[in-house]
Structure 1
């Protein structure tokens, strides 16, 4: 496993050199931050998360408790050799929280929040005036009073204009995503450099996944999606977005909230791209 992980890391470093310029200068790493600010100012976007908060909190607490009970001491012992005896307990706690967050986010996205995150993505697009794009997949009611801007409570705004989905079910994350994420976790045993490599590898995956709903609204299949992500320097842009988004989702006890604000950020980016193409 160590040899395979080393080979994969070297391949990724070689690939990183080819996209470094686009990663640094695309500016897409700002969109997850924009997502946080936009969500704070549009209360209707809170509703999909709040309506499922109890189940999500129960899932997260159960997974975190189980992970600390079974994995904290073994990992603290291993980290003694890399981080030293004084930092090992603290580093092990952060690592277990990261593992718990990864598992919780995967399970929540797959079984509890898939529809809610799609609703959040679509509502954000409506807030940005992309009614025609959203209407490709679901019914959209007319704009009350000629404006979709939401400055009111959680029950008003663009979310209230969304009807049932018309065509395709929401895509769920595959089990391979969770397995790959857990295989990359040992990189965190290497201080600083290992964590940066871990965030990069995850960011490369997370970026395109964040636009899964956008690709669905565009009606693109797998080949069209891959061609879009890899074309015209967009791979670096997607990786930059994914790195920031994933780093935010690593924050202990805030991963699910950040997953929603990242969804808003991804929708803001999609809206900007739609406007640019017009």
Structure 2
């Protein structure tokens, strides 16, 4: 049990590590400033509208079944609805491109530039890591747009009507689906076929679920949701760094990418 809660290893802690890493590495800040400040203001406007016009009616309806807890679950319900709208805005404003830059920049900064070069040009010099990132030489997607994920998110929203357990169920089930999407870029860099990708997700599904659940909770924070989206991309990249470092420790040659040997780590979790 103590190993499961070891913050240096637990998947659920990587989103928090991403927040600290983002805040402490100035080369990432311009990616937030130049791309997302206008969207942050717009998302704040959306949340204000939802809480003004949708919160109290939904609380009144929930109170019929839940009593006093309706105030809390109603807030999660409105935040979830806002997250759907904000997610649509992310796609509309091409934020995914920013997430790719963040993910790749962290890998390069942590010494795994050879992995990034499978997908984009890296310049040998630059004022900082971000300036070294060149144009992608093939498709570069942090997380693909998934209509199914959005539909499932909307379908699961009514779970918040269930007293006490409803909101945690909603968060975990949504995290179950969303977690693996945070490593889509990693799978893309490794050029994994669909079957191998599915197998790796299956073996690490619990870890992806905890990661996705924590990431979702952070992204439900009004106004800061977009910042947490980017910091979660940092946390995802840091998780990849640790996985790649473990690969190197078992004898992978420097610069060798896509070695799919399997081994057991000291937690007895199968990791590719």
Does the pair score TM above 0.5? yes
In the aligned structure 2, how far is the partner of 1:130 from the partner of 1:192? 44
Higher mean displacement: 71-80 or 32-41: 71-80
Question: What are the Cα deviations for residues 68-112 of structure 1, in whole angstroms up to 9, with x where unaligned?
Answer: 46533431221111332x554564344213320232034314643
**1:49-88 map, 5 Å:** 49-68=32-51, 71-84=54-67, 86=68, 88=70
Give the TM-score normalised by structure 2: 0.81
Q: CA deviation at 1:180?
A: 0.9
Whether contact under 8 Å (1:29, 1:240) holds in the other structure is yes
**1:182-221 map, 5 Å:** 182-221=154-193
Whether contact under 8 Å (1:28, 1:238) holds in the other structure is yes
**1:69-108 map, 5 Å:** 71-84=54-67, 86=68, 88-89=70-71, 91-108=73-90
**1:1-278 map, 5 Å:** 27-68=10-51, 71-84=54-67, 86=68, 88-89=70-71, 91-109=73-91, 111-142=93-124, 156-170=127-141, 172-231=144-203, 234-278=204-248
Q: CA deviation at 1:126?
A: 0.7
Cα distance 1:23–1:241, how it changes in 2: closer, same or farther (>3 A)? farther
Q: Which runs of 5+ in 2 are unaligned?
A: 249-272
Q: Which runs of 5+ in 1 are unaligned?
A: 1-19, 145-155
Structure having greater relative contact order (Cα 8 Å, sep ≥ 6): 1
In the aligned structure 1, how far is the partner of 2:134 from the partner of 2:247? 27
Give the alignment's Cα RMSD to 1 decimal. Answer: 2.5
Cα distance 1:112–1:185, how it changes in 2: closer, same or farther (>3 A)? same
Question: What are the Cα deviations for residues 188-236 of structure 1, in whole angstroms up to 9, with x where unaligned?
Answer: 22243111111111111221111111111111232221111113xx111
Aligned length: 245
In the aligned structure 1, how far is the partner of 2:37 from the partner of 2:11? 32
Question: What are the Cα deviations for residues 168-200 of structure 1, in whole angstroms up to 9, with x where unaligned?
Answer: 142531222111111111112224311111111
In the aligned structure 2, how far is the partner of 1:27 from the partner of 1:228? 17
Whether contact under 8 Å (1:60, 1:101) holds in the other structure is no
Higher helix proportion, which one?
1
Give the TM-score normalised by structure 1: 0.79
Whether contact under 8 Å (1:141, 1:163) holds in the other structure is yes
